[in-house]
Amino acid sequence: MSIPLSCFTQIRSYILRRAPRTWTNGVKYEQVTYYPRHKDHKDPPIKPTKLLMVQRVEKFKGNPYWDKNILIQLKLDKVASDIAIVKNTPEMCTLLWKIKHLIKVTPINMPDKLPNDESVQTWLHENGDLLMAPRVDPDREKATMEFINNPKRLDRKTLKEELRYRWLNPYDL
């Protein structure tokens, strides 16, 4: 009895996956080597963001252990919708560069002036915008609570019950 060869098929092999070292004239920025198209090419001046939002877009299973270790270090190994907020440092950018095929990196756009007190609510959108809402005014909050708890106000529940009662008993005798 012979065993079919399809059960012995190797899924992935990482032996020959090393990048060739044939490129020359690279410019070294911290720990990343950049290869410009032209020798006299200069990058325009930019103001980088301080924080990055990282989200895993590819599956965790089926990747080599060195990629999995980086994803575990960033705590992106559980659910694909989880995000990680990381600092924009050369060391972190080097880690992200190694797993760039598995993640989506979005720069976080923060407002110019950050408040000092902790009474500000913040929201982080999917596009990286960080929105801040100031604290609610106590007078406005009090007026809202008075309006909600007012017995003369016709809320949905009261209005529904009253109209149903009038529909079932059209004439009060």
List the alpha helices (DSSP H) in the chain: 65-73, 90-98, 138-148, 156-168
Question: How many whole angstroms separate alpha carbon 66 and alpha carbon 41?
Answer: 34
Assessment of whether the complete model's pTM goes beyond 0.75: no
pLDDT tens digits, one per residue of 36-69 = 888 788 777 888 899 999 999 999 999 999 999 9
Residue pointed to by tokens 């880690």? 95
The rounded Cα 156 to chain-centroid distance in angstroms is: 37
Task: List, edge to edge, every strand of the sheet that includes 51-56.
Answer: 83-87, 51-56, 103-107
What pLDDT, on a 0 to 100 scale, did the predictor assign at position 99? 94
Average the pLDDT over 20-39 and give the result: 76
pLDDT tens digits, one per residue of 137-167 = 889 999 999 988 888 888 888 889 989 999 9
Question: How many whole angstroms separate alpha carbon 81 and alpha carbon 72?
Answer: 15
**Residue 14: pLDDT band with limits 50, 70, 90:** low
